[in-house]
Amino acid sequence: MIATVTLNPCLDRTITVHRLVVDETNRWTGTHLYAGGKGIDVSRAIHEMDGITTAYGFVGGPDGRILEILLDEEGLPFSFTPIMQETRTNFIITDTTTSQQTRINAPGPRILKKELERFIGKLRRIYPSPDLMVFGGSVPPGVPVNIYHDLVMEANGFGIRSILDSEGQWLEEGIKAKPYLVKPNVREAEELLKTELSTEKAIINGALGLVEMGIEVAVVSRGTDGIVAATKEKIIKAVPPPVKVRSAVGAGDCAIAGLALKLAYGEPLIEACQLAVAMGTAAVLTPGTELCHRTDVEKMLPQIKVGEISTKQRAKAFFTGSNEISS
């Protein structure tokens, strides 16, 4: 079982209007509710691929209840820890005439110390223990900035491998606990390493830098260019075919689901990278917050170019000026 953790889930309420006029009464033409959050999305994508997963995190108030009802309707297993304050709601107004989106994001609810303790206690008691844990997204008010460090250490203590996908200080602190895998995108990796990663060579060196920091598998995702993964022994590059992008929202979460689905059960990293790119790229084919569809992933998988070289070979194989993969 792959356990995902979303500390700061949200309920996205999208309202569609024909032409938004501010300071006037508008009529909506459609509404949509979506249970959002990085870990939840990873669980959703795993579930889509028939993987076994449970989503953990915090929910509170009526909107938290709605979030749970939505996940129930999707058949997605979850086990949230209740909190006093209400789950945050983001309002999204979509204007169908201009296709413009106006977002009004709420701050997260404040988590009490005893709620955080209850949550950590719950994670400790997951039985049988998960094959892999995925920690994703922002951290709500009241939760220490080094929470991912503590959660990764907890998982390490139980011998459970973890994937961490966050940003800024949360990621910087979390990495110190040496999660099994991190998957920053290029911008997040630049922020983390405090260096510009404008070439493929720099990205590979950046990933290797993360490995030197104690990360077993460092994956840097590069949007249209796919991913680069590094371990002590090898470097893997996986590249998708050109596709028509409808919405890139959730592509990163689908890529993580692909990595988790393979690595949780000891499959080779090269297969995990191929599935990650297939799932990430399948996610951009769907509109809005919709994630990848299994049928698209299956069609995409053989089209992903993937190559592997040893770290010793890298200068020769990848840096010859061409973007081709030499495997």
Ligand X SMILES: Nc1ncnc2c1ncn2[C@@H]1O[C@H](COP(=O)(O)OP(=O)(O)OP(=O)(O)O)[C@@H](O)[C@H]1O
Site map (CB under 6 A) of ligand X, residues 174-193, x = contact: -----------x--------
Mention every residue, 6+ apart, whose C-beta is less than 8 A from residue 16.
28, 29, 30, 31, 32, 94, 96
In degrees and rounded to multiples of 5, residue 29 shows phi and psi of: -105, -15
**Minimum CB separation from ligand X for residue 11, in Å?**
18
Regarding 307 and contact with ligand X (CB under 6 A), the answer is no
Instruction: Give the pair of three-digit tokens for residue 261.
Output: 């689905």
Q: Which does 5 bind (CB under 5 to 8 A by kind): ligand X, Mg ion, none?
A: none
Mention every residue, 6+ apart, whose C-beta is less than 8 A from residue 28.
15, 16, 17
Cα–Cα dist 267/72, whole Å: 30
Q: Which does 206 bind (CB under 5 to 8 A by kind): ligand X, Mg ion, none?
A: none
Q: Which of these is catalytic: 12, 41, 63, 253?
A: 253
Cα–Cα dist 28/94, whole Å: 10
Regarding 317 and contact with ligand X (CB under 6 A), the answer is no
How far out from the chain centre does Cα 322 lie?
30
In the bound state with Mg ion, the residue whose beta carbon lies nearer, of 137 and 140, is 137
Residue choice 102, 105, 198, 224 for contact with ligand X (CB under 6 A): 224
Instruction: Give the pair of three-digit tokens for residue 314.
Output: 């890298």
Decide: 280 and 297 in contact? Cβ < 8 Å.
Answer: no
131 catalytic, yes or no?
Answer: no
Task: Give the number of other Cβ atoms within 10 Å of residue 242's Cβ.
Answer: 7
Give residues 244-283 in contact with ligand X (rule: CB under 6 A).
245, 248, 250-253, 255, 277, 280-281
- # residues contacting ligand X (CB under 6 A): 20
Cα–Cα dist 249/217, whole Å: 24
In the bound state with ligand X, the residue whose beta carbon lies nearer, of 8 and 281, is 281
Residue choice 221, 274, 286, 289 for contact with ligand X (CB under 6 A): 221
In the bound state with ligand X, the residue whose beta carbon lies nearer, of 251 and 309, is 251
Q: Which does 250 bind (CB under 5 to 8 A by kind): ligand X, Mg ion, none?
A: ligand X
In the bound state with ligand X, the residue whose beta carbon lies nearer, of 177 and 227, is 227
**Minimum CB separation from ligand X for residue 151, in Å?**
19
How far out from the chain centre does Cα 72 lie?
21
Give residues 246-265 in contact with Mg ion (rule: CB under 5 A).
252
Instruction: Give the pair of three-digit tokens for residue 64.
Output: 């938290």
Cα–Cα dist 272/81, whole Å: 31
Strand partners of residue 17: 28, 95
In the bound state with Mg ion, the residue whose beta carbon lies nearer, of 114 and 187, is 187
Instruction: Give the pair of three-digit tokens for residue 29.
Output: 């033409």
Regarding 109 and contact with ligand X (CB under 6 A), the answer is no
Binding residues for Mg ion, rule: CB under 5 A, are 252
Q: Which residues bind ligand X (CB under 6 A)?
A: 185, 221-224, 226-227, 240, 243, 245, 248, 250-253, 255, 277, 280-281, 284
Catalytic positions, written as ranges: 253
